Amino acid sequence: MKVAAIGEAMIELSMDGDTAAVGVAGDTLNSAIYLKRSAPDIQVDYVTRLGAEPFSRKIHDFIAAQDVGTGAIETDPDGTPGLYAITTDASGERSFTYWRDRAAARSVFTGPGGPDFSVLEGYDVVYLSGISLAILPEQTRGALMNWLGGFREGGGRVVYDSNYRPRLWQDKATAQAVNAAMWALSDIALPSIDDEQAITGESADAVAARFVAMGKTGALKRGPSGPLCLATGTFGDYVPALRVVDTTAAGDSFNGAYLGAVLSGLDQAAALQAGHDLAARVVGHKGAILPA
């Protein structure tokens, strides 16, 4: 099985007072790494565009060191990657500062004649998020969504997480329209309760009811309460994390472990538990990626 994860890999500054640890992260990249760790036999490739300068090489080398494929990464000789800094409060809740407006990833799939998705051919599963789409020009975004429709018709599976970042969207109406279309396109849906409430203004109960009514495979991530199974509308008895240091990548890690279980043939109960357990470990660690 071959999985393509689409998105933006950035340089990460994890702040500790006045000092910072320099790493590499990005929402779908985090999930790709945890998917590969959870299911080593699955081929997981990352799809993005990087520059050719030292920080882009650092990102490329980091991805390769995680056993995530780099063959689908495009290169812009004049491009640079995005940068973000994480700060956390006393409860472990994080806030972000971004420098990403001119990142090379924003031009991924851009060819001489317009959008070109040939790099995605041959994959069985495509995983992407609202961030993956929000950074793209409108023409490329629409063309990618049309391509995903044909990909599904050909037997491929689409996995989507809205991962809503308001500042990346031109307006909320665009975010709402794109997300509604992507939930319809997705075979496996991995929404988070807070993202969906922020996008739609619905209550938590209304969000849960909406996704259960879709009848999709997937999970509604609900933080310490644990995931809701979208296929059945039920949830288990999940033990909250013992220690919360940094909530960065909590949802991304859940997605990776959940997908690793589902794509390996495990049932929903096992997949939901795997996702919750990994996320509970990740929030006890500073930064997005646990040591291998």
Give dist(CA 287, CA 49) in Å, integer.
Answer: 23
* 123 token code pair: 């994959």
Q: Would you list the domain boundaries of the chain?
A: 2-282
- Choose the catalytic residue: 41, 252, 267, 277: 252
Q: Best-predicted range by mean pLDDT among 78-92, 132-146, 234-248?
A: 132-146
**Comparing 94 with 174, which gets the higher pLDDT?**
174
pLDDT computed for residue 20 by the predictor: 85
With beta carbons less than 8 A apart as the criterion, state whether 241 and 280 touch. yes
Banded model confidence at residue 87, pLDDT cuts 50, 70, 90? confident
pLDDT computed for residue 157 by the predictor: 98
pLDDT computed for residue 132 by the predictor: 98
Work out the number of other CB atoms within 10 angstroms of the CB of residue 286.
16
- Alpha helix positions (H), the chain: 27-38, 54-65, 130-134, 138-153, 172-185, 193-200, 204-214, 250-263, 268-282
* 282 token code pair: 């990740």
Give dist(CA 31, CA 289) in Å, integer.
Answer: 10
Is residue 188 classed as helix, strand or coil in its secondary structure?
strand
* 194 token code pair: 């807070």
What average pLDDT does the structure give for the chain? 94
CATH architecture entry for 2-282: 3-Layer(aba) Sandwich (3.40)
Banded model confidence at residue 92, pLDDT cuts 50, 70, 90? low
Give dist(CA 266, CA 225) in Å, integer.
Answer: 22
Q: What is the mean pLDDT of the segment spanning 25-54?
A: 97
Give dist(CA 148, CA 133) in Å, integer.
Answer: 12
* 134 token code pair: 């929000």
| pLDDT exceeds 90 at position 10 | yes
Banded model confidence at residue 128, pLDDT cuts 50, 70, 90? very high
Distances (CA, A) of 127 to 62, 92, 190: 20, 28, 10
Give dist(CA 147, CA 149) in Å, integer.
Answer: 5
| pLDDT exceeds 90 at position 26 | yes
Q: What is the mean pLDDT of the segment spanning 115-128?
A: 97
Angle at the Cα of 199 (from 284 to 249), degrees rounded to 5?
20
Work out the number of other CB atoms within 10 angstroms of the CB of residue 138.
10
pLDDT computed for residue 241 by the predictor: 84
pLDDT computed for residue 22 by the predictor: 87
**Residue 101 is among the residues annotated as catalytic for this protein:** no
4, 24, 129, 45: CA torsion to nearest 10? 0
pLDDT computed for residue 276 by the predictor: 95
How does pLDDT run across 252-289, given as a tens digit for each residue?
999 999 999 999 999 999 999 999 999 999 999 877 88
Give the whole-number percent of the chain exceeding pLDDT 70.
Answer: 99
* 276 token code pair: 């919750």
Lowest mean pLDDT, pick from 17-26, 118-127, 225-234: 17-26
